[in-house]
Structure 1
Amino acid sequence: MTQVLAIDLGGTQLRAAVSSGDPASLRDLTREPAPASLADFTGRLAALRAEVGDVTAIGLAVPGLVENTQCRWIPNLPYLDGLDIAALFPDLQIGLGNDAQISLLAEAEAGAARGTSDAILLAIGTGIGSAVLANGRIVAGARGGACSFGWACADMDDPGEDRSGWLERMAAGRALDDIAIRLGKANGAELIAAAREGDSAAITALQKPVQSLGMALAGAVALLDPEVILIAGGISAALDVLGQPVLDAMRRQLPAHLRPIEIRAGTFGARAGIVGAALAGAAGQNWRQIR
């Protein structure tokens, strides 16, 4: 039986679990701050492997660009750039992927996109990850970076940045935190809670990130014609506040035949990455093909 060490590594947090490869068997091991250096990362993975014992595979979700078993470009954790996970664990099966693509694997195999052949996922947390399911396969692109909607831009005057895209700077968790602080609130979660309670200032402040998300998604829907749009990551819990405004902003930019699109929260919410990592580890390098 495959025993998978599943790792969901974000820009600020690391989650680890052990699984036989299916969501029902997943057992949490830890949730802790992300390692601060390459030495910390490699040491922590080795310690977790030793803790689990009989591991046959590692599934790892990372917030950036990967190719096969190599981390190519991880903007929030640059110490991973160029690291080959298979070289660290040559005796194990490796399922390595971008965190949004790994989250979509979870939803397509066992969650809100199960039974669909075409879907878009946005994983909105510290940054914005994204992934596309097309004809039953998660799209990788020529260099592993397909469908990076966090880099979508609807502002011709934006000068751009090397490590984060326009949409990510407009609508990710860090952007919501900045907006919240300007309104005297601690973070984006407090901002959304205030909007939920009818706070007009909070509702107004959310209009710009909401419209940014809607415009970016309109372009994606026009290009891909998915059956559903899934929202994963921490923002998935805020769809009662943000879902309809994002849908309205998106529909304004779409023709009538593409407007009946649904936005729904992923089944696994913020746990989609760890569930998908377990599935990817069990499947190995061919994890993008949905069974």
Structure 2
Amino acid sequence: MEQWLAGIDLGGTTIKMAFVTLDGDIVHKWEIPTNKAERGAHIVADIVRSLRERQDQAGGGNGRLLAIGIGAPGPVQEESGMLYETVNLGWTNYPLKQELEAATGLPVAVDNDANIAALGEMWKGAGGGARHLLFVTLGTGVGGGVIANGAIVRGTNGAGGEIGHMTMIPEGGAPCNCGKTGCLETIASATGIVRIASEKLAVAKRPSVLHGGDISAKAVFDAAKAGDPLAVEVVDEVTRYLGLALANAADVVNPQKIVIGGGVSRAGDILVERVAHHFCRFAFPRVAAGAEVVLATLGNDAGVIGGAWLAKTLIEG
């Protein structure tokens, strides 16, 4: 009987789950809604119930599953698997590892959601097995993961890799959800791109296809691809700051691959080419020569595959 790993990507809206082979191939994947009622009190029970239902459907019962790896938003204490704070779930100092292990009888590894996506891309995605990798995910916010010598850099209290909260505008920057101002997240996230475009449109005298429509990050990139001057200006500003942030991070860890994921990455070549251009401008030349900027390839599967990688490390030591 083939044995599996469970990879789980816990988000504020849905919980993505998968059974994954020891070689990193997805056997079954599904998702369930995230029940945030009563400050997330039912989330673990929902996960356990869903895992058991899918195991029963697949046949073989508990014997198939070897371990569980799960990613959740917010910083994680590495040894205990405790989540310090997950604002969108209502958890503070929540012992997720302990709760899941008690409910399933299986070993559990917990990490930040961006970290497990980075691991997934390293293992089976655009990272191509690179042991030194930077991962940045551009969505509603900006997340990041740093892999050095094949291991996630978590830092002293689980906040390693917070690329989205590098300060890019020291004075007068837009407020960020973290409580600071001028973070990369206020610029390179989907919401940041919309904010910058809206501000430019409000004072723009020149015509733009973005006037009068619903502005989205996709609309801005589509307009830039079509040559709209104002949209091109927005894209250049966003990619300049992103390239600068990645260059500064890369100068510290000297990665082989810089992987860009998240919803904004669907902009494709225009995004990666301009980020790569600015990255090479700002990075230490030897660092720039050793790094390749690429788009993520796993999409929504990155988290569950990365979770399975975490689970695999538990059983392989």
TM-score band, normalised by shorter chain? 0.7 to 0.9
Cα distance change on mapping 1:247 and 1:197 into 2, 3 Å = same
Cα distance change on mapping 1:180 and 1:270 into 2, 3 Å = farther
Cα distance between partner residues in 2 of 1:229 and 1:277: 20
For normalisation by structure 1, the TM-score amounts to 0.85
For residue 298 of structure 2, what is the aligned residue in structure 1?
Answer: 268
For residue 251 of structure 1, what is the aligned residue in structure 2?
Answer: 280
Cα distance change on mapping 1:193 and 1:31 into 2, 3 Å = farther
Cα distance between partner residues in 2 of 1:140 and 1:102: 11
For residue 58 of structure 1, what is the aligned residue in structure 2?
Answer: 68
Moved over 6 A (4+): none
Give the CA deviation at 1:111.
2.5
Q: Are 2:142 and 1:140 equivalent residues in the alignment?
A: no
Residue identity opposite 2:178 in structure 1: R
Residue identity opposite 1:15 in structure 2: K
Cα distance change on mapping 1:26 and 1:128 into 2, 3 Å = farther
Cα distance between partner residues in 2 of 1:195 and 1:234: 17
Larger Rg: 2
For residue 6 of structure 2, what is the aligned residue in structure 1?
Answer: 5
Cα distance change on mapping 1:180 and 1:9 into 2, 3 Å = farther
Q: Are 2:108 and 1:108 equivalent residues in the alignment?
A: no
Give the CA deviation at 1:92.
1.8
Cα distance change on mapping 1:285 and 1:213 into 2, 3 Å = farther
Secondary structure of 1:267's match? coil
Cα distance change on mapping 1:135 and 1:50 into 2, 3 Å = closer
Give the CA deviation at 1:229.
0.7
Residue identity opposite 1:47 in structure 2: R
Bigger drift between 98-107 and 5-14 goes to 5-14
Which deviations, in whole Å up to 9, do the C-alpha atoms of 1:141-198 show, x marking residues without a partner?
1222212111111222147656266111211122234456664325222332332333
For residue 171 of structure 2, what is the aligned residue in structure 1?
Answer: 157
Q: Are 2:91 and 1:80 equivalent residues in the alignment?
A: yes
Secondary structure of 2:184's match? helix
Contact (CA 8 Å) 1:111, 1:267: kept in 2 or not? yes
Cα distance between partner residues in 2 of 1:31 and 1:200: 42
For normalisation by structure 2, the TM-score amounts to 0.79
Cα distance change on mapping 1:111 and 1:14 into 2, 3 Å = same
Aligned residues: percent identity?
27
- Bigger relative contact order, structure 1 or 2, given CA contacts below 8 A and separation 6+? 1
Gaps (5+ residues) in structure 2? Answer: 56-61, 202-209
Residue identity opposite 2:95 in structure 1: D
Residue identity opposite 1:70 in structure 2: M
Give the CA deviation at 1:120.
0.9
Cα distance between partner residues in 2 of 1:106 and 1:171: 22
Contact (CA 8 Å) 2:176, 2:186: kept in 1 or not? no
Which deviations, in whole Å up to 9, do the C-alpha atoms of 1:231-260 show, x marking residues without a partner?
122233223121122122222223433333
Residue identity opposite 1:49 in structure 2: L
Cα distance between partner residues in 1 of 2:275 and 2:197: 19
Aligned length: 286
